[in-house]
Structure 1
């Protein structure tokens, strides 16, 4: 009998000695999720600055909890022991040492040019950055806690660390850029942040968010004109240009179709469908920048661009009398513009 009890006790001791991880269980109402982003959504931000940390996207704690199927204050998981590590990391990208404005390292997209990193903030556990400044995963020990909520963890923000002008041809493929997991037994994968599809970088030192501005003059009476070379019907319009810093943009307006009479200034645009019976005769449209007529086909240099905001170029359009006599009718005109930079 004593021998039997000794064997029984030994088997219990052996079982206990083999346990090296705490047992953790996911909240029965929760499910692991994938969160998606794509650099295409932030193309304007990426091309706006050469040396800057750029916020690409932020997933709030409330949003993440909701997508997992739980409340932000509900436990994500629970464990039977203390000192459970939370692992922030495991990207498909290579971690590199660095020092971003948030004190993190970087996940290499383009060597010495562009890096991705994550900041977890706004929760009770404090600010966490991945990768760490040495380029490795971040591990957070829960200490005496056996459970944690998204209110404790906080928001997950995605950043780019840009260190210079980029060249076309590079790309970021789809894949897992970041994971959050509880390293118990079993390992609980909580969220994966994924880049949704391949994004190819384009060299765009300047771009516009107003590719087709429209100008409405309303009805303009012919009696407002006082003879050939006079003007009437002023209307303002803006072209918004985003450039990387230290770039001087220039814009060139052009026209298509039949030219105006030779004695007409090169800043006057001929009306659309000028030979149509319903089109006004004897007028064209002139564009001005800071009150000065803009010559068609000649580059106009705009102000030096800043790093943080889009530049707004303010223009004025007006009708210009090109002949001694004006005949009423429709007076629409189209000008094309091209943005270049130095």
Structure 2
């Protein structure tokens, strides 16, 4: 029987405008409760690794802002007749961007946006008339519920909205809590810069030709028998922390059995072999053709190898000698 050649070719998958301004210094008609005064905090997403092929819409990082704020207790008493409401907004340094019908904010890194969830919406500014208690002439606002109630009511998220680059997330006032009617702010969350790194691999050998080990008809005993196992590999050059996945699809001749990784032989101009197929394996386990296979995560920058195997497999009752060529494609994804 002649040598079988497996030819593999790669393909790589690849608002509202606010007219409300804050007085940044002090309340005017409302009064802070006890020793409470205007406060602030710094928050950070930390450095983030983004897989190049992570689906659009993926939440890359999230911070529960309500959990951090609610412990401040009672905040201020406001006149009941003044039409005051708790107000949430985002600093003017963040530019609004629309994604899938939502109002998000540019992060400073292409393909990544900031979503501010406040009182169960992503549109800012947002007001709430919720108070914690009332007296004869005043309404008391508290951190626990006036600016949101529960983790889902105050969060900031980094969301993938397109093909991502690497870079620094913009710093700024990512959540401002205050009052309407020009009363000013009570607490500001300042987002500090953090780094986004998008990782992926490049294929070093996009066209792989596998010279199969020799096999004879007498090497096969029955349907399902195998012979001629041959090692080959896909070589990559990767960024560290890349999640590597590969999908192997049948070539033009299709699959004899996709779940068992068996390719049909390609027709030739000469005598074609019959009764056998070519099976692809990973660590001696048949590869499910057409199904994404998780390989692993790279630990360092540089070379990364995906070891594979191919072997003949008897698919019919009888075997006819002849040319036995097969082909497949592989698709790399990083997510």
TM-score of the two chains, using structure 1 as the length reference: 0.45
Q: Which has the higher strand share?
A: 2
TM-score of the two chains, using structure 2 as the length reference: 0.46
